[in-house]
Amino acid sequence: MQSAPPPFVFPREYSFPPFFTRQTNLTTHHAQLVKWASLVLTYCRHHRIFKLSLSGQPPVPTPQATPTTTTTTTTANLDITTPTTTTSSSSSSSDELFHNRKLNRRLSLADAREVIDFLRKDGRAEYVAGGGSSSSKDSGDVAWIYWRTPEEWAALIEAWVDETGQKGSVLTLYELTQGDATRGAEFHGLDPELLQKALGTLVKRQKAQIFGHEDSQGVKFF
């Protein structure tokens, strides 16, 4: 009953034990993937998770975006979502997502990758280059989950810039996602890397220009 976001309501299939076992029948498996894909997207959207770690490790906190003022956080630090679930020591997002403690069922890493691959075909996910550590063994454990694609984020930002009449003016990347002006906008609290990707699509379309150094980048919209 606090201002915290309401708990995520898992879909019916989350309480269906076979949901966590890769189905052998092709048609059934496809139905299973579709359900998992939509669950991953809605779950990440609900908790505003931009990067999902598949191996159960908490996602690597992003360097500059760690504000404690708002409810939106990029690291998935979750409350208990079902009344019967006990708080666990590792509150990693994907752990709860892929592991139903109540049923004691877990989607294996390989199967989770398959879900991500399925999302990738739809343009709704992308493995984070390097995947936390640079070794190839770990690559593919952290993935961007595009419940909004970079293009969609870009469109939102563009619309906001247009609405607030800031075309032609220069904004810092920090103020775009963390500033007071964008509070309430959906892209407030956006992962900086994802912001870069989004702005990148605007730059490609010659709608924006990014300049500046690593930590103090600015962007100008046309």
Partner 1 sequence: MSRKGVGLAAFDRSRITSAQYASHGSSLRSTDASAFETQLSVFRSLLQQFAQTHAKDIRSNPTFRAQFARMCAAIGVDPLTSSNTTSSGSDKGGGQSIWAQLLGRTVNDFYFELAVRVVEVCGETRGENGGLIEVRKVRESLMGKSMEGAPEITEDDILRAVGTLKPLGSAYSVIKVGSKPYIRSVPKELNTDQSAVLEAVQVLGYISVSMLMDNLKWARARAQTALEDLVGEGMLWVDAQADECEYWSPGFMLESQRQEAAAG
Interatomic CA distance for residues 177 and 6, integer angstroms: 23
| Position among 1, 2, 3, 17 found at the interface with partner 1 (CB under 8 A) | 17
The footprint of partner 1 on this chain (CB under 8 A) covers a number of residues equal to: 28
User: Tokens for 34?
Assistant: 């579709």
146: amino acid identity, one letter: Y
| Position among 65, 74, 83, 162 found at the interface with partner 1 (CB under 8 A) | 83
* 162 three-class SS: helix
Report if residue 99 touches partner 1, rule: CB under 8 A: no
If the CB atoms of residues 100 and 182 are measured against partner 1, the closer one turns out to be 100
- Alpha-carbon distance values, 50 to 8, 12, 16, 61, 149 (Å): 16, 24, 26, 11, 10
The least CB distance from residue 27 to partner 1, in Å, is 5
Question: Which stretches does DSSP call E strand in 72-204?
Answer: 99-100, 105-106, 125-127, 142-145, 170-172
Beta-bridged to residue 100, according to DSSP, are: 105
| Position among 25, 68, 87, 135 found at the interface with partner 1 (CB under 8 A) | 25
Question: Residues of 143-172 as b/e, b for ≥16 C-beta within 10 angstroms?
Answer: bbbbbbbbeebbebbbebbeeeeeeeeebe
If the CB atoms of residues 104 and 206 are measured against partner 1, the closer one turns out to be 104
Instruction: Print the binding letters for residues 103-142 with partner 1: x by CB under 8 A, - otherwise.
Output: -xxx------------------------------------
Report if residue 77 touches partner 1, rule: CB under 8 A: no
Report if residue 101 touches partner 1, rule: CB under 8 A: no
Report if residue 218 touches partner 1, rule: CB under 8 A: no
Residues that bind partner 1 (CB under 8 A): 9-13, 15-21, 23-25, 27-28, 30-32, 34-35, 82-84, 104-106
